Amino acid sequence: MEKANRTTKHKIATIGSHSALQILKGAKDEGFGTIAVCEKNRMQPYKSFRVADKIIEVSSFREFMDVEDELMAENAIVIPHATFIDALSTEKIEKLKTPYFGNKRILKWEVDRAMQRDWLKKAGLTLPGIFKNPEDIDVPSIVKFYGAKGGKGFFLAKSGDEFARKIAEHKGKAYIVQEYIIGVPVYIHYFYSPLTEEVEIMSFDRRFESNVDSIGRIAAKDQLDMGLDTSYNIIGNAPLVVRESLLPKAFEMGEAVIAASKKLEPKGIFGPFSLETVLTPELQFYVFEISARIVAGTNPYITGSPYTALRYNEPMSTGRRISREIKTAIAQGRLGEVLG
């Protein structure tokens, strides 16, 4: 039997990883029942933190399609995040039968880094330069692989020769070579409501990436002696509040990305997304990536951020904001508008 405080017959489901804790907690706060699809050895957090009413066990996230009938029988709406997209691939996601929050068709514009660049350019944002031909590399550059794997394996190269030496370990992988921008990395978290057509800034974060964020703890001489190569494997996220004078530009960039997305795919992007930027000493935002779904950088804000505290008189995580959007859509008879 449904609990009395349940908002609807619908339940909110996601894969147990990445930002599932706040997605499920936010869903419960909005009165939904919740389901976590978990790999056997990764269930403990979803049990211990009491966010999942039901846990469906799979031996690998790649088996998600096998539990779809069970999810549909529960009236589940699935919420994508990076692990979800990585485990299923965009092709499989397009074939999902279970109702899905967000626009599936926008995902390919994130996964393919060349298409992503096209989108950000159409939005008129300032981007790092790229080298189409790696032999031409003549400034410090970062070599990045396709997919949402959190910076694993990325490397720096200052010349074509250095690139050739380092790429040998990564045969067969698709990559992009971007100019490396020196400045402070700032990750901006947005939410766009297709119901109100309004963009919100939810929060900002900074990341801790290994080993690049620990190299500064070693003297330059020791760095050289140790023959270190930098890598960008993300370990966690920390809260950040930016200079207030940067906010108008941050809003403008979010709005430009949404407007450009509507020209790429019907409905464009909606729900949570993030722009990953480096801010130079001249306070120029260089946008080096877009994530077209919730990012783990919102995880420090399960009880809300300084920015959501301004707009909402209650704790509002990005996960909860997703469920609020679904709840509002249901109440207005517009659920189809938030499903992709």
Considering the complex, what minimum distance in angstroms separates the CB of residue 11 from ligand AMP? 32
Among positions 108-127, residues that touch ligand AMP (CB under 6 A) are none
Considering the complex, what minimum distance in angstroms separates the CB of residue 140 from ligand AMP? 9
- Choosing from 155, 288, 301, 307, the residue that interacts with ligand AMP (CB under 6 A) is 288
Considering the complex, what minimum distance in angstroms separates the CB of residue 185 from ligand AMP? 5
Rounded to whole angstroms, how far apart are CA atoms 12 and 95? Answer: 19
Phi-psi region of 79 (alpha: psi -120 to 50; beta: other; left: phi over 0): beta
- Choosing from 144, 293, 321, 324, the residue that interacts with ligand AMP (CB under 6 A) is 144
Per-residue mark of binding to ligand AMP, 192-211 (x: CB under 6 A): ---------------x-x--
137 binds ligand AMP (CB under 6 A): no
DSSP 288-318: EEEESS--GGGGGGTT--HHHHHH-SS---H
* Of residues 268 and 297, the one with the C-beta less far from ligand AMP: 297
Helix runs in the chain, H state only? 20-29, 44-48, 68-73, 82-95, 107-111, 113-122, 160-167, 212-215, 220-225, 247-264, 306-311, 318-331
Q: Which residue has the tokens 């070599």?
A: 143
25 binds ligand AMP (CB under 6 A): no
181 binds ligand AMP (CB under 6 A): yes
Q: For binding to ligand AMP (CB under 6 A), which residues are involved? A: 128, 142, 144, 151, 154, 178, 180-181, 185, 207, 209, 232, 276, 278, 288-289
